[in-house]
Amino acid sequence: MRFDTHLTAEDSPNIEHLLLGVFPTEFEAHLVESLRRRQAIAAEHGLWDQGALVGYNAYSPVSIEGKSTKRQILGVGPMAIHVDYQGAGHGLRFLEESLKDVEADALVLLGHTAFYEKVGFRPAADFGLTFSDNAEMNAAFMALECWKGALDGLSGRVIYDKMFYGE
Ligand SMILES: CC(C)(COP(=O)(O)OP(=O)(O)OC[C@H]1O[C@@H](n2cnc3c(N)ncnc32)[C@H](O)[C@@H]1OP(=O)(O)O)[C@@H](O)C(=O)NCCC(=O)NCCS
């Protein structure tokens, strides 16, 4: 397995293939294609096995409604592990490696809370952060300070790139 921090434009077909195979709809593949094309990705990581992309994770800048900060806050995802590789610990190891490499002050994500708790994410509500007015979505919204206090004074609604909202 090879952890890759330098995915290029040439890797787009591999990324699309992986995301289409992992997620039930084309939403994530389209989202990543748009973010990559508009250079709206702050960092992205891949996991390769024998020439095949079997893991992917992207980070994109977010802002907090009504707040101005120099702190770098990134949204994590979409993250995916190829279906044939799921459930064997690859996702957790990949995420740990990915988090060690990414440069940010704080991270947020919408996802499987039990999975992301394992690497230190906490309910975003603990920091006063929300994703939307939807309680179910807010319950799956998580945050991680890369240094203690990174989110101090930054409570509010987190705004992602418009493509995350399916616009
Ligand atoms: C979610 C995903 C990235 C996890 O990767 P994985 O390689 O299957 O996970 P791992 O085998 O490393 O699991 C590590 C631990 O996390 C747990 N875990 C994995 N997926 C989980 C999930 N969806 N919800 C809750 N816990 C999960 C495992 O049970 C395991 O726990 P244990 O160590 O206590 O046994 C992968 O399954 C995937 O790509 N799923 C489809 C796409 C997706 O949902 N992406 C994330 C969007 S938030």
Q: 44-65, pLDDT tens digit by residue? A: 999 999 999 999 999 999 999 9
Spacing, Cα 80 to ligand 1 middle (Å)? 9
- The model's pTM: 0.96
Q: Whose CA is nearest to atom 33 of ligand 1?
A: 89
Q: What 3-state class would DSSP assign to 82?
A: coil
pLDDT tens-digit readout, 111-148: 999 999 999 999 999 999 999 999 999 999 999 999 99
Could you tell me the residue range of the domain that residue 156 belongs to? 2-165
Alpha helices (H) along the chain: 12-22, 27-37, 90-101, 113-116, 135-139
Place of tokens 């995802």: 77
Count the domains in the chain: 1
From the CA of 92, give the closest atom in ligand 1: 12
Q: What is the pLDDT of residue 166?
A: 85
Report which protein residue has its CA nearest ligand 1's atom 10.
89
Q: Cα(82)–Cα(50) distance, rounded to whole angstroms?
A: 13
Distance 113 CA to ligand 1 centre (A): 10
How far away, in angstroms, is 56 Cα from ligand 1 center? Answer: 13
CATH of the domain at 146: 3.40.630.30
CA dist 67 and 32 (Å) reads 26
CA–CA distance, 10 with 151 (Å, rounded to integer): 36
